[in-house]
Chains A and B, each alone.
Chain A
Amino acid sequence: MTTFLEIRDLTMRFGGLMAVDHLSFTVEHGQIHGLIGPNGAGKTTTFNMISGFYKPTSGQVLLRGEDISGLKTHEVARRGVVRTFQHSTLFAELTVLENALVGTHMPFRPNIFAAIVGWDKEDRIGAEARAREALEFFGLDHLAGERAGDLSHGHQRALGMAVAYASHPDVVLLDEPFTGMNPEETRRMMGLMRNLRDSGITILLVEHDMQAIMGLCDTITCMSFGKFLAEGGPKEIRNHPAVIEAYLGGARHVA
């Protein structure tokens, strides 16, 4: 059986800087997989390469054996890999429901001629049902008519995930989903992510909040200075000497 999502020798070079250096790891289907590392380790760059924002200098991203590296973002998304963004990247001017409706773009592809004549009723109903389902999943259904920009921070993050969820993804890439959340919001968000995983969606997340990562992830990959450092369950990672050294700054890394 081919692996579900495999990162193989992924490299990204910005001029003279090796942001990601021959990184390899695999993500198992149906898991929550964390990607951690100190600031500047290249986590977000890795994310951007997997989701098609950057074209890797070399290396491959294999989804069920198919090389998806170097594809455009929307092409990657159409293969089932959907990402969310750091901060609250939303359609702030649109309503919450409309945000989720944009998320249904892939399962219910708009057709302009059908839309003019009015033959897309079923699609519109289907899209709205899916959008509402996504909102309900993240507990946002009561806010459907609100302007997305007016939501609280926690709700905005949840909406960002709802937009991704509405598109029926196989893998969701979450970029620092817990940033700026209070413990209560973090706890709720962790619950939502477990629900997401239990509904069959694989999650790959980048995060700094160690408590959340340790409590949530099935597998954790740690990277440092663009390189693979360690991989394992939360317990192994917590006690891994290389990881501790990377975070606390061992003598070798102090430049």
Chain B
Amino acid sequence: MLRAGIWILALAAFLALPHGLSFSQQEILVFLVINILLVASYRLLTLTGEWSLGHVVIMGVGAYASALYTKELGIAVPLSMLLGGLTAALVAVVLSFPLFRMKGFYFLIGSFAAGEIIRLLWKRFREPFGGAKGIKGIDPMPDFSVGFYRFDFFEPVSYYYFAGIVVGVCLWVLWRIEKSPVGLTFHAVHWQDKLAEASGVNLRAYRTLAFAIASGFAGISGALLAHYVGTINPNSFDVEVMVFVLTWAIVGGTATFYGPILGCIALTVLNEIVLRELGFEQMRPLIYGAILIASILFLPDGLESLVQKLLRRKAAPAKERVAE
């Protein structure tokens, strides 16, 4: 009952949020929704204990793939987004062969190198990737109407709703995976790979599976981005964006599903709204860095630890009541 109420409230907030915001803030909202999927998919990869620096490039793979499928093959946009995600997952499976010979820090560096290679390929090959200038004039999502609401994709609000629904479904899938025995196995692979192996877990297969799923959803978020902004180039997916993703994940904390999402929302609001309004335009990277350091020093378990503390404080009296 309470849970249903919370969901209805969240839905109402989701619907009402863009109204009353300025046009540029509505655009930021669209990016925020896309980034939430990006960072949530990143968390799935971190479940197995591996941190990648190539996640944003994989997102770019989805963006490029989806853009090219519509442009070159004339596939309808929603379908091409899905195919973009699949392509990203496939690329991840191929990459897993060299990358999963490494672990930990080496995997981190290896994934960075792999990402840079992909970015160089985009730059090098003008056909079909468009070289350094990238792809322009990507087909937008075609307008459609669902009776009570008309999606007009020149309006950020419409795209926000559309992306919100797509991201919502993706998050639900990610959530289901994490709470399933498969998710438990990911945890097992992370905490004690030897014991997991002795219990019959195929380590390589599960590492690859997590990498492929995370990459697939990153690819979908990239496709959402590509068909919104209409132009992508190799620099849209460089390591600077990756640092943002890492910062969201670290500031939010990765122990819970909502941690990275929380980090993403908090930092986006801070970055785009507060700092922009205050006129700190030039100093924003500096402040971002400072926040990262401060959160590692003073909030090592991330923003999620604050929420957990709050929930525990609420849960404790409830338990006592049951005891009485």
Q: Which residues of chain A have a CB within 8 Å of any CB of chain B?
A: 51, 53, 72-74, 77-78, 82-85, 89-94, 98, 101-103, 105-106, 108, 110-112, 115-116, 118, 120, 123-124, 127, 163-164, 167
Complex Cα distance A108/B197, Å? Answer: 15
Complex Cα distance A84/B192, Å? Answer: 12
Complex Cα distance A98/B196, Å? Answer: 12
Residues of B within 8 A of A51 (CB): 198
A116 with B173, Cβ < 8 A, contacts A77-B199, A101-B181, A163-B195 known:
yes
Asked if B133 is at the interface of the complex by the 8 Å CB criterion, the answer is no
Contact with A along B188-207 (1 / 0, CB 8 A): 10011011111111110000
Min C-beta distance of A6 to chain B, whole Å = 21
A102 with B182, Cβ < 8 A, contacts A89-B192, A89-B194, A90-B192 known:
no
Asked if B256 is at the interface of the complex by the 8 Å CB criterion, the answer is no
Question: Is the Cβ of A77 less than 8 Å from the Cβ of B200?
Answer: yes
Residues of A within 8 A of B180 (CB): 110, 112, 115-116, 120
Residues of B within 8 A of A112 (CB): 177, 180, 182, 209, 213
Contact of A94 among B187, B198, B203 (CB under 8 A): B187
Contact with A along B158-189 (1 / 0, CB 8 A): 00000000000000010011001110110110
Complex A-B: 18 CB contacts under 8 Å = A53-B194, A72-B202, A74-B203, A78-B200, A82-B200, A84-B198, A85-B198, A91-B188, A98-B184, A102-B188, A106-B199, A106-B200, A112-B182, A115-B180, A120-B180, A127-B181, A163-B195, A167-B199
Question: Is the Cβ of A116 less than 8 Å from the Cβ of B188?
Answer: no
Q: Across the interface, name the chain A residue whose C-beta is closest to B174.
A: A116
Residues of B within 8 A of A164 (CB): 198-199
Complex Cα distance A110/B180, Å? Answer: 8
Could you list 8 further interchain pairs (A-B, Cβ under 8 angstroms) beyond the known A91-B187, A94-B184, A112-B182? Answer: A72-B202, A74-B197, A77-B197, A90-B195, A91-B192, A93-B187, A112-B180, A116-B176
Question: Is the Cβ of B185 less than 8 Å from the Cβ of A102?
Answer: yes
Question: Is the Cβ of A115 less than 8 Å from the Cβ of B188?
Answer: no
Complex Cα distance A108/B181, Å? Answer: 9
Min C-beta distance of A137 to chain B, whole Å = 16
Residues of B within 8 A of A124 (CB): 181
CB neighbors of A among B56-78 (8 A): none
Complex Cα distance A101/B176, Å? Answer: 17
Complex Cα distance A167/B173, Å? Answer: 28
Question: Is the Cβ of B195 less than 8 Å from the Cβ of A105?
Answer: no
A85 with B194, Cβ < 8 A, contacts A91-B188, A116-B177 known:
yes
Residues of A within 8 A of B198 (CB): 51, 73-74, 77, 82-85, 164
Residues of B within 8 A of A123 (CB): 181
Complex Cα distance A115/B191, Å? Answer: 22
Residues of A within 8 A of B177 (CB): 112, 115-116
Question: Is the Cβ of A101 less than 8 Å from the Cβ of B200?
Answer: no
Question: Is the Cβ of B192 less than 8 Å from the Cβ of A115?
Answer: no
CB neighbors of A among B87-133 (8 A): none
Question: Is the Cβ of B182 less than 8 Å from the Cβ of A73?
Answer: no
Min C-beta distance of B199 to chain A, whole Å = 5
Question: Is the Cβ of A73 less than 8 Å from the Cβ of B191?
Answer: no
Residues of A within 8 A of B185 (CB): 102, 105, 110
Min C-beta distance of B268 to chain A, whole Å = 28
Q: Which of A90, A94, A102, A123 has the most CB of B within 10 A?
A: A102
Question: Is the Cβ of B191 less than 8 Å from the Cβ of A82?
Answer: no
Residues of A within 8 A of B196 (CB): 102, 105
Q: Which of A74, A77, A84 has the most CB of B within 10 A?
A: A74
